[in-house]
Amino acid sequence: MDIIFLRGLQIETVIGIYDWERKIRQTVVLDLEMACDIRKAAASDAIEDTLDYKAVSKSIISFVEGSSFFLVETLAERICDILISDFKVPWVRLTLNKKGAISGASDVGIIIERGERTCHG
C-alpha cells in the first residue's frame, strides 16, 4: 500500500463545547495519511492518475473553515467521510490536534482510521 500524506495542515474553525469557544475561531492541526496506489501515476507522470493532494487540501480547508462542530470527533469523522466519498480514498488515518485545549499540555486531539488499509489491484 502506498500512502500520500499531508502534515501540519493548520485551519481555523469554530470548535468546542463551551460558550466562549462558540464565539471564537480556534486553530486545529491536521495530519492525513491516505492510501493510494501510485503505480499508474508513476508510469504516466500525470496528476490525473494520482490523488491530487492540493485538491484534497483545498476541499478540507474549505469544509473545516465553514464548520462549527462541538466535538473534534465529529469534525474528524466528517473529514474522513469527504476523503472516502469525494476522493475515493480506500483508507485514511487522520490526526486532529486541538493545540492548547488543555492547560499544561502542548497537544491534545484524536487519531482515527477509516476504510480498508489494504489495496487490491
What string of H, E and C letters represents the secondary structure of 33-50?
A: EEECCCHHHHHHCCHHHC
The pLDDT tens digits of the residues spanning 25-47 come to: 999 999 999 999 999 999 999 99
Is residue 65 pLDDT above 80, yes or no? yes
Is residue 104 pLDDT above 80, yes or no? yes
Report the sign of the C-alpha dihedral through residues 86, 87, 88, 91, in that order: negative
Domains in the chain, start-ordered, CATH in brackets? Answer: 3-115 (3.30.1130.10)
Residue type, 77: E
What are the residues whose beta carbons fall under 8 Å from the beta carbon of 76, sequence distance 6 or more?
94, 96, 110, 112
Active site residues: 98
Q: What is the pTM assigned to this prediction? A: 0.92
C-beta separation of 68 from 15 below 8 A? yes
Is residue 121 pLDDT above 50, yes or no? no
